[in-house]
C-alpha cells in the first residue's frame, strides 16, 4: 500500500475560527471492499489469500455489522439431520423463489455451501451440536429437510466474530468509520471510492484496481424493519448513479415475526423448534393458508396470512401471537436464549410463560445490484456481494438460512474474481477533478443555512412505504407512493444540515443516506407498478392475484436516466426446474 497526502479543498462552512480544513489522504490497493459485514469480510479474506493487497471501508466497526443480527442459522446440505443433498436444497430454493431465482446461481450456492460451512467451522465457528458431535441442523420454512446449521439463536453474531478474527490474523487494512459516498468511474471502469472520514473529518479518496460493494440492504426504507440503522442502501445507490442496473427491486421480503413497534427480529428458529402462530381466538390460523407446512411455510405465505388475520380483525393490537410455551423452559433457554432476552427487553414478555406479540416487518431485499456468478457488475472493475447484490439466488422470496450462506459463498467468489482481475492489471488513475466535484457538491449542502431538516422527510418516506408498498401492493396506493416519493425528492433538494462541523457529523451522513434511500424507493415503485402479477413477496390481491409465468417470468432491471428510474426486463436463467404451482 502506498499513501500520500495534500491539503483538501475546504468548504466555506468549515472556515471558522475554531475549525480547520482536513487533509485528504489518498491510498491505493488492489482490491477495495466497501462494507465489512459477512460478505465483505469473506471477500477480503479470499482476495488476500489469492495474493492481492486488500482493504475494507466500513462506516461502522465490522463487528457491529448488521450481519450480526442474523439469528436462526445458515443453510447447507450437510445431511446431519436427514438424507439431504445439494439438489434438494436447490429445488427448495427455486420453489421458494417462486421460480424467479436464477437456477444456475442457485445450484452454485447449494453445491458450494457444505464445504464453505465446514471451512467456517475450521476457522472456529462454534455451531450447536448433535449428541454425536456433528453440526446440528434445524428445520426452517419451506425447506424439505432440516438443513439450517445454527449456533443457538445468535448464528450471525458468531460468524461475524469468526471472520473478523481472520481479518485480524491477516492484518488487513480496515478504514473504520469511513462513510463511502461515491464510486469513482474513470476510463470506463471503477477505480476508487470517495468517503467521508467520520473520525477526522473531510473527504478521502481511496483508489483500487477493483472495488467490491458489500454494504447490505435498504430496510430503513420502512417504518417497521428488522434492519439496523446502517442499512440505508448505500452501495445500491452508488452503483445506480454510475449506470449499473438494479434487479428485482420490487422484491422486499417481510419477515413474519418481528416485535411491535420496534421491528426487532424474532428468529424463524422459534418456528423451526416447533413454536405456534395464534390469532386472537387462540387458533393456529395457518391451517387455512398452508395446511401442510403450517408454521414452516415460506416467509411470504406466512406474512400474508398474518396480515390477513390482522386486517380482518383477528389480530391483537395489530399483531398475532408466537407461542413457545409448550417447548419448555429448558429448550428455550438452551436454543433460543437470545430470543427470550429480546422479548423480555423489548416487549416485556417472557416466552417461557406468555406468547410473544409479532407482526410482519420489512426484513430483506431480494433485489439489488445485478451481478454475474462471480459478483461482477456491468461496470468493469466493480463487483458486489451479499444483500446489496442480486445474482439472483432468492428471486421473489428468500428462504430463511440462505442469506448467511449467500454472504459466504458469493462473498468468497467475488473476492476471488476481483483479486484475479486486479493482479493482472497495474494502473489506478483518479482525476483530481472528480474529488473537486465531490467537494463542491458536499459544500453546497453544508453551506445551506435554511431549509427542512432531513428527519421529517425520512419519517414520511418510511411510514408511507410501509402503508403503500408493504405486504400487499395495490395499484392506486403504489401510484400514490410514486407521487409521494417524487415530492419527497423535491423537498430533499432543499434540506439543511445543522451541524457544520467535520468530526462525527452524523447530521451530514444521515442526510446523505436519505438521498440514497429516496432514489431506491423510486426504483422500487417503478418496478412494482410494472410487475402486473402476484409472485413471492410482490402480492397484488385486488387486480393481479395470480402468478403470470407467460408474461412475467422475468426480472425487472431499473437504471437511472435523466434523474429518474427507467425499466427494462431480463429472462430468468433456467436449468432443470420448470415452474409449478407453489403450495405448502
Which residues are known catalytic residues? Answer: 299
Taking residue 576's Cβ as centre, other Cβ atoms within 10 Å add up to: 10
Question: Can you tell me the distance from the alpha carbon of 273 to that of 270, in angstroms, rounded to the nearest whole number?
Answer: 5
Residue 52's closest CA among 414, 376, 498?
414
Helix ranges (H only) for 316-431 are: 329-335, 337-347, 402-423
SS3 state of residue 197: strand
Return the bridge partners of 23, or none.
Answer: 7
Cell numbers of 243, please?
Answer: 449506470
Instruction: DSSP letter for 353, please.
Output: T
Dihedral (CA of 243, 235, 429, 381) sign: negative
Q: Give the chain's count of helices (H) and strands (E).
A: 15, 20
Q: Which residue has the cell 445454527?
A: 150
Cell numbers of 458, please?
Answer: 425520512
Q: Which residue has the cell 439496523?
A: 228
Peptide bond into 3 cis (omega under 30): no
Cell numbers of 202, please?
Answer: 473531510
The region that residue 65 occupies, defined by phi over 0 for left and psi between -120 and 50 for alpha, beta otherwise, is beta
Question: Can you tell me the distance from the alpha carbon of 401 to that of 404, in angstroms, rounded to the nearest whole number?
Answer: 6
Residue 293's closest CA among 279, 315, 277?
277
Q: At residue 130, what are phi and psi to the nearest 5 degrees?
A: -80, 170
Asked if 76 and 405 touch (Cβ cutoff 8 Å), the reply is yes
Peptide bond into 426 cis (omega under 30): no
Return the bridge partners of 365, or none.
Answer: 252
Asked if 496 and 449 touch (Cβ cutoff 8 Å), the reply is yes
Widest Cα–Cα separation across the chain: 71
Distances (CA, A) of 267 to 69, 196, 257, 357, 405: 10, 35, 7, 13, 16
Question: Can you tell me the distance from the alpha carbon of 263 to that of 362, in angstroms, rounded to the nearest whole number?
Answer: 8
Asked if 202 and 22 touch (Cβ cutoff 8 Å), the reply is yes
SS3 state of residue 401: coil
Q: At residue 55, what are phi and psi to the nearest 5 degrees?
A: -145, 155
Amino acid at each position: 500500500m502506498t499513501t500520500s497526502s495534500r491539503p483538501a479543498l475546504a468548504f466555506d462552512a468549515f472556515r471558522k475560527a475554531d475549525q480547520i480544513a482536513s487533509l485528504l489522504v489518498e491510498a491505493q490497493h488492489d482490491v477495495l471492499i466497501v462494507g465489512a459485514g459477512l460478505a465483505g469480510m469473506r471477500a477480503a479474506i479470499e482476495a488476500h489469500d489469492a495474493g492481492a493487497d486488500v482493504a475494507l471501508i466500513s462506516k461502522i466497526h465490522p463487528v457491529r455489522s448488521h450481519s450480526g443480527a442474523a439469528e436462526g442459522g445458515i443453510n447447507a446440505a450437510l445431511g446431519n439431520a436427514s438424507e439431504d443433498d445439494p439438489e434438494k436444497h436447490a429445488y427448495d430454493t427455486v420453489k421458494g423463489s417462486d421460480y424467479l431465482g436464477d437456477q444456475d446461481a442457485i445450484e452454485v450456492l447449494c453445491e458450494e455451501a457444505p464445504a464453505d460451512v465446514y471451512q467456517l467451522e475450521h476457522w472456529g465457528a462454534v455451531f450447536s451440536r448433535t449428541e454425536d458431535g456433528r453440526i446440528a441442523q434445524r428445520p426452517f420454512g419451506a425447506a424439505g429437510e432440516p438443513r439450517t446449521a445454527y449456533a443457538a439463536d445468535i448464528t450471525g453474531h458468531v460468524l461475524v466474530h469468526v471472520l473478523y478474527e481472520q481479518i485480524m490474523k491477516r492484518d488487513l487494512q480496515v478504514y473504520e468509520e469511513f462513510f463511502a459516498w461515491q464510486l469513482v468511474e474513470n476510463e470506463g471502469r471503477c477505480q476508487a471510492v470517495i468517503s467521508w472520514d467520520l473520525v477526522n473529518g473531510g473527504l478521502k479518496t481511496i483508489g483500487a484496481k477493483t472495488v467490491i460493494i458489500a454494504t447490505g440492504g435498504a430496510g430503513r426504507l420502512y417504518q417497521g424493519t428488522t434492519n439496523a440503522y446502517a442499512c440505508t442502501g448505500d452501495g445500491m445507490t452508488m452503483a445506480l448513479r454510475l449506470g449499473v442496473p438494479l434487479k428485482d427491486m420490487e422484491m422486499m421480503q417481510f419477515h413474519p415475526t418481528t416485535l411491535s413497534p420496534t421491528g426487532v427480529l424474532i428468529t424463524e428458529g422459534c418456528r423451526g423448534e416447533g413454536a405456534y402462530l395464534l390469532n386472537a381466538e387462540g387458533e393456529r390460523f395457518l391451517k387455512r393458508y398452508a395446511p401442510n407446512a403450517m408454521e414452516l411455510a415460506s416467509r411470504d405465505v406466512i406474512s400474508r396470512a398474518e396480515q390477513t388475520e390482522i386486517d380482518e380483525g383477528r389480530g391483537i393490537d395489530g399483531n398475532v401471537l408466537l407461542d413457545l410455551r409448550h417447548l419448555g423452559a429448558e429448550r428455550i433457554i438452551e436454543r433460543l436464549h437470545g430470543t427470550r432476552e429480546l422479548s423480555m427487553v423489548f416487549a416485556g414478555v417472557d416466552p417461557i410463560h406468555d406468547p410473544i406479540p409479532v407482526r410482519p416487518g420489512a426484513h430483506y431485499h431480494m433485489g439489488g445490484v445485478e451481478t454475474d456468478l462471480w459478483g461482477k457488475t456491468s461496470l468493469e472493475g466493480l463487483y458486489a456481494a451479499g444483500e446489496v447484490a442480486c445474482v439472483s439466488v432468492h428471486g421473489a422470496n428468500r428462504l430463511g438460512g440462505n442469506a448467511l450462506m449467500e454472504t459466504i459463498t458469493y462473498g468468497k467468489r467475488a473476492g476471488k474474481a476481483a483479486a484475479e482481475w486486479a493482479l493482472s492489471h497495474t494502473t489506478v488513475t483518479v482525476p483530481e477533478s472528480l474529488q473537486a466535484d465531490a467537494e463542491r457538491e458536499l459544500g453546497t449542502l453544508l453551506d445551506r443555512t435554511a431549509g427542512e431538516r432531513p428527519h421529517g422527510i425520512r419519517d414520511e418516506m418510511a411510514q408511507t412505504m410501509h402503508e403503500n408498498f408493504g405486504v400487499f401492493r395495490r395499484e392506486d396506493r403504489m401510484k400514490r407512493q410514486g407521487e409521494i416519493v417524487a415530492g419527497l425528492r423535491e423537498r430533499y433538494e432543499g434540506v439543511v444540515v445543522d451541524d457544520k462541523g467535520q468530526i462525527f457529523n452524523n447530521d451530514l451522513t444521515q442526510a446523505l443516506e436519505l438521498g440514497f434511500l429516496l432514489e431506491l424507493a423510486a426504483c422500487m415503485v417503478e418496478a412494482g407498478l410494472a410487475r402486473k402479477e402476484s409472485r413471492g413477496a410482490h402480492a397484488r390481491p385486488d387486480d393481479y392475484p395470480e402468478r403470470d409465468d407467460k408474461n412475467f417470468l422475468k426480472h425487472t432491471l431499473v437504471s437511472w436516466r435523466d434523474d429518474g428510474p427507467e425499466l427494462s426486463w431480463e429472462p430468468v436463467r433456467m436449468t432443470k426446474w420448470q415452474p409449478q404451482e407453489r403450495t405448502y
